[in-house]
Amino acid sequence: MTEAQETRERILEVAQRLFAERGLEATSVRDITSEAGCNVAAVNYHFGGKESLYVEAFRAMLGPLRDQRMAMIDELMARAPAPTLEEYLARFAEGFLEPLADESLGRRFMLFVSREITDQKLPTGLFLDEFIRPLITRAVSSLDRVGVPMTPEQSFYCIFSLIGQLLHAVKGQHMSEQLERTGAASFDLGGFIEHFVRFSAAGIRACALGAPIPETVLTGRES
């Protein structure tokens, strides 16, 4: 690796950590270059500015973590016999949330995602197109193999709902860290996954049965 490449990697590593901890607005280029041991011009040279560095820092984490989760789904579905719905849901949640438990690159990514849910500094559609959509596509193709055959539309909505719960848990975990200072109950990862499996399995089976929803529930009006 050349000196220029090493400088670029140091900038990227420091930027990932500081952007995750502080956000885009609260992190200056000088903060990053000071810790990376280079001059301010290096950020412009390698990334074209702070905003472009922010996007690249996110993308550099997104790809490997997306691929790990997709590989986890493939590995799970290669088992014989096929997993039960509950086993599928538990592994799906663990693979999505495990980074919360340590200080790894995955945790930085989750911090990024948590901030993006409210701050929205990334280009529109980047997270959806490069992370969420590929995961949904892979998961939808496997859901009917765990004993709950559904139409593609039903599977899509179920997987979309699962990911929504998990993203909310990411945000809730960090909110919990702040609430703990006031004596509020803390976020328990194991407890949440147990709830997620029980809650989601019941919902998916109800969708698979196709029980009709009363019109008054959907419209809010009496027929």
Confidence label for 73 from pLDDT (cuts 50, 70 and 90): confident
pLDDT of 1 above 80: no
Q: How many domains does the chain have?
A: 1
Ranges 142-146, 177-181, 199-203: which has the least confidence:
177-181
Q: List phi, psi (to 5°) of 215.
A: -60, -35
Question: To the nearest whole percent, how much of the chain has pLDDT over 90?
Answer: 35
**Range from 11-15, 116-120, 210-214 carrying the lowest mean pLDDT:** 210-214
Residue 7 belongs to a domain:
no
Task: Please indicate, yes or no, if residue 17 is contained in any of the structural domains.
Answer: no
Predicted local confidence at residue 172, as pLDDT: 67
Instruction: Taking residues 86-91, report their average pLDDT.
Output: 92
Q: Please check whether residue 24 lies inside any domain of the structure.
A: no
* Residue 112, pLDDT above cutoff 90: no
Distance CA 22, CA 213 (A): 45
Determine the structural domain holding residue 188 and report its residue range.
57-211
214 pLDDT band, cuts 50/70/90, is: low
Residue 202 is assigned to a structural domain of this protein:
yes
- d(CA 27, CA 15) in angstroms, rounded, equals 9
200 belongs to a structural domain: yes
- Whether pLDDT at 102 is above 60: no
Alpha helices in 132-188 (DSSP H): 133-143, 152-179
Is 99 within a domain?
A: yes
Q: Is 125 helix (H, G, I), strand (E, B) or coil?
A: coil
3-state class (DSSP) for residue 198 = helix
Output the CA torsion 59→63→68→70 (10° steps).
Answer: 120
Is residue 36 within 8 Å of 53, Cβ to Cβ? no
Residue 155 lies in a domain: yes
Of the pLDDT bands very low, low, confident and very high (cuts 50, 70, 90), residue 100 is low
Highest mean pLDDT among 20-24, 53-57, 92-96, 179-183: 53-57
- Of the ranges 2-11, 47-56, 102-111, which one carries the lowest mean pLDDT score? 102-111
**Cis-peptide, bond into residue 81, ω within 30° of zero:** yes
Which CATH number covers residue 117? 1.10.357.10
Q: How far apart are CA 188 and CA 173, in angstroms?
A: 8
Structural domain includes residue 102: yes
